[in-house]
Every structure is written in structure tokens, then in C-alpha cells.
Amino acid sequence: MNQQYLTLKDIFDACQEVELRVAKIYAKLALLLGSVDDRVERFWGTMSAEEWQHHVLVDFGRNLCEQAFDINMQITDLPTSISIDSIDRIRNGLVEHEHRLAEMNLTLNDAFKMAIEIERSEADQLFIYLTKQIEKAVQETGKTFLLGRLNRIGKEMQHHHKALVVATKRFSNDPDIVRSALSLT
């Protein structure tokens, strides 16, 4: 990533990396905690699959944006929540979570705390920004038949957070963790 400014390519690269790493984290949680309850394994597996779908969508959107714009040009309309520093914070947070997972001694409550931190992070801002850019590319390329798909993605993102809240309520015995999860919605 260029240290002076961000390009759309930088944002796509960062977002794809983050979505893939989060998918792997959730998949590892399914393996690590699946013995607690079949429903716990299915929950983390579903969370992982949804992150993988986000990764695939971002790749699809990149291709569409490459058809519509020069993705190597400096971005001038970035929200203040997205910067080189915020991307570094996201990556550093993921490194911490990956190290915790490598220790293999997480409880289900630890996993919920980790997921809430991930879902609350600035990573969603990258995804939301790219979704808007993809929508512009859809308009620019005249492929408006894809707008319904983009709308479904926004709804799926809200569902993703709600699923975390529901699972936290169902499986966590810590009211502070449940309150923290509720703040996602």
C-alpha cells in the first residue's frame, strides 16, 4: 500500500485479505469449539461461510470496478473512518486473534468476545465503502440487473450481526458479552 494515499485497489486488497482471514478464524473456531454443541459448530461454520461469501463478492466487485474505473487512482471520497492507519489497526487486530487461536485454549465466551471485536472493527467500513463503489460500477457499466444482488448483500450483512447476537444470547452465560453483542445491532 502506498504510504501517501489509498487507491481503490488498496481498499480491495485490504478488504479481500480481511474477509479471508476472518473466514479462517471462524472456521478454526468451528473446529476448536464444535465439540461443545453441534449448534455451536454450525454457527461458527455459517459465520465462516458468510465471510468467504464476502471475500468472493469483493473479488467480483473488483472485476466490475476494473471495467468501470481506474482502480489505481487516488481515492478522494474516502470516509474518515478509512485510512492507512485504520487498515493497519484491522490487520494488527487479526494478528492478535490468530495468535490467540493458535494457543488452542479459547472458551466459547472468548470466541464470542473475539467475534464481537472483529465485527465491531473498522473492517465493515471497508466492505460498506466497496459496496458503494461496486454500485457505482454497476451503474457505470449498465449492469443494473446486479443491483438486487447488492441489496441482498446489505441485508445479509445485517443478518450476520444478528446471528452473532442470537448465538451469544443462546450460548454465553456472561451478561456483559451479551450486552456487547447487542451493541452490534
CATH assignment at residue 103: 1.20.1260
| Three-state SS at 82 | coil
Decide if 2 is inside a domain.
Answer: no
Judge whether 107 lies within some domain: yes
Q: Which domain holds residue 165?
A: 8-182
In the chain, % of residues over pLDDT 70:
97
pLDDT band at 153 (very low <50, low <70, confident <90, very high): confident
Q: Give tens-digit pLDDT for 169-181.
A: 999 989 999 999 9
pLDDT at 155: 74
Question: Average pLDDT for residues 19-43, to the nearest whole number?
Answer: 93
Q: For residue 4, what pLDDT is reported? A: 62
pLDDT range class, residue 34, cuts 50, 70, 90: confident
Domains in the chain: how many in total?
A: 1
Is 75 inside any structural domain?
A: yes
Residue 45 lies in a domain: yes
Pairwise CA distance, residues 28 & 69, whole Å: 37
Secondary-structure percent of the chain, ordered helix, strand, coil, rounded to 5:
80, 0, 20
17-26, 54-63, 152-161: least confidently modelled range: 152-161
Domain assignment of residue 51, yes or no: yes
Flag whether pLDDT at 1 surpasses 80. no
80 located within any domain: yes
For residue 2, the model assigns a pLDDT of: 43
pLDDT of residue 49: 94
Query: Is residue 1 in a domain?
Result: no
Q: How does pLDDT run across 40-98, given as a tens digit for each residue?
A: 999 999 999 999 988 988 898 999 999 999 999 888 888 888 889 999 999 999 999 99
DSSP-assigned letter for residue 161: H
User: Is 77 among the domain residues?
Assistant: yes
Identify whether the C-beta of residue 6 lies closer than 8 Å to the C-beta of residue 78.
yes
